[in-house]
Every structure is written in C-alpha cells, then in structure tokens.
Chain A
Amino acid sequence: MISFETGVQVHSVSVMTSDGGGHSTEQIVELAMDKIMSVSNTAPPAIRDQAEAFQNHLRDVLYHYMELARREERANIANKMSQAGNSEMAELVRRI
C-alpha cells in the first residue's frame, strides 16, 4: 500500500488599526519589522542579544527614514497646493 500524509494549514494574521487618520510611523515601522526579521526565543543568548541589538538598530533607521519620507511627501503636496493657489491648504498640510 502506498500512502502519503500531509496537512493543509492556515496561519494567523496580524491586524493593525488606527483612529482619526492613517497609521503612525511607529505602526508602519512595526509592520515592516515583522516582515524583515524575527528573533527566535530558543536562540542561544549571545546570538539572541546580537540579533535583538541589530533589530533595534534597524527599527531606529527605518523610523528615521520613514519619518523623512512622510515629511518630504507632505512638502511635495504642500508645494503643489501652493502652486495651484491653495496656500492655506498648503500650510495645513505642511503643519501635519
């Protein structure tokens, strides 16, 4: 007799929500970090410490450039609004 044992499995998803606007930079960074790396609880302590240090550094770098990207995007939008004669709206966007 020939038989095969296999399993079709589904994994859990994560849900992130925000109120009164889009996700914060911190939330987006966490979404990215979840995809980039995870540190096993069972890793040897020395390796785990190094991995966590790198993870924290990566989180800081991502946060910095994510903030920069959001600020530059707002500047671009504000500039376009200003050019179109909507200077008050442009100022509102600039102050977000």
Chain B
Amino acid sequence: MAIAQAMCTSFKKELLEGVHNFKNSGGGTFKLALYAEGSGGKSSTTATLGATTTAFTTTGEVASSGTYTTGGGSLTRVDPTTSGTTGFTDFADLSFTTATITAMGALIYNSSASNKAVAVLDFTSNKTSTSGTFTIQFPTANASSAIIRIA
C-alpha cells in the first residue's frame, strides 16, 4: 500500500531525543499535509508513506486549492496529558475551505524541527471535496482514542 497508517519510526527515536514538543504554549509547529495515491498528487506524483517516512515530502502531495496550500495546514496543539498509565496529546480539527481536493492520506510533521515526520494517516479510501470544505477530525482525546498515545 502506498499510504500505510503508522507512527513514524524516526519519530519514536526523536521523542527520546527531545526533538518534539507538543505543549500548547511554546511547542513546535506541527503541520498536516494531504497526499494522493494513483498519480493524483501534483505533477502526477503518487505518495509512498509509512513507518519508514522520516520527513515531509512533496511527492504525492495534493496541489494547492482553496485554503489548502502545499506544505499543508498548521495544527493547533492541545497540551499533552495523562489518563491512567497512558500519556496522550491532541490537535484541534483542521478544515480547508473552497477547496477541490482528493486525498487518500496525510502526514503530520514538525515544521519547526526540519520537517521531521510524526505520523502517517491513512484515510482508507479517497476523500474528495469539490469547491467545498475538507475537514480532518481528530479522535476524542482519551487514553484509548487520542491521535498520539504512549501507553
């Protein structure tokens, strides 16, 4: 599969190195970029993303449209917290308006740390907006569903 949902392996190492800071105040700038499969990216490119992805790439990224500009949108951080023995963090939902986009997945990356990759998100099917709104909704922030968890 060209886009496979995964926590990037390099991110796990970088967590131990203190590269990433998800705090609401003073944290890094995390972005979400959208990707297409089947030559649907700009310049007819196809995304290949997964656990081995180490950084943001333009290959397979969807073209700018509406409020989506290449490189993706900035995510609003939510302070990391814990529940039981699990630590987790969250982002606010992200929307791109008046956009014509077909995307199969996304990459969360840290643009304030050399665009290092965090996680690959697989939408499992093509999601399309036509002159409309494309919204990515993050799961409920709890120990079992939060977008990024350390259990």
Chain A residues with CB under 8 Å of chain B are: 6-23, 31, 34-35, 38
Q: Are B137 and A10 in contact (CB under 8 A)?
A: no
Q: Of all chain A residues, which has the CB nearest B140?
A: A35
Using an 8 Å CB-CB cutoff, how does the interface string of B1-42 with A read, 1 for contact, 0 for none?
000011100011001000000000000000000000000000
Q: Which of chain B's residues have a CB closer than 8 A to the CB of A20?
A: 130-132
Extra pairs beyond A20-B130, A31-B135 (7, CB < 8 Å): A7-B150, A9-B148, A9-B149, A10-B149, A12-B122, A17-B133, A19-B130
Closest-CB distance, B89 to chain A (whole angstroms): 11
**B7 with A8: CB separation less than 8 A:** yes
B132 touches A15 (CB 8 A): no
The majority secondary structure among interface residues of chain B is strand
**Which 10 interchain pairs have the tightest Cβ spacing?**
A18-B132, A17-B129, A19-B130, A14-B137, A15-B127, A10-B119, A10-B7, A16-B135, A19-B132, A9-B149
Distance in angstroms from B82 CB to nearest chain A CB is 13
**Interface size range on B against A:** 35 or more
A10 to B51, CA, bound (A): 11
Q: B93, A8: Cβ atoms under 8 Å?
A: no
A to B contact number (C-beta, < 8 Å): 89
Residues of A within 8 A of B6 (CB): 10
A13-B15 contact given A19-B130, A21-B131, CB 8 Å threshold: no
- Complex Cα distance, B16 from A70, in Å, reads 46
Contact A12 B5 (CB under 8 A): yes
Give bound CA distance, A12 to B140, whole Å.
10
CA of A20 to CA of B130 in the docked complex: distance in angstroms?
6
Known A7-B150, A7-B151, A8-B15; contact A23-B121, beta-carbon cutoff 8 A: no
CA distance A7 to B147 in the complex (A): 13
Q: Can you sample 27 A-B contacts with CB below 8 Å?
A: A7-B151, A8-B15, A8-B148, A8-B150, A9-B150, A10-B5, A10-B7, A10-B147, A11-B146, A11-B147, A12-B122, A12-B139, A13-B121, A14-B136, A16-B133, A16-B135, A16-B137, A17-B132, A17-B133, A17-B134, A18-B132, A19-B130, A20-B130, A20-B131, A21-B132, A22-B97, A23-B135
The smallest C-beta distance from A66 to any residue of chain B, in angstroms, reads 15
**Do B7 and A31 touch (CB < 8 A)?**
no
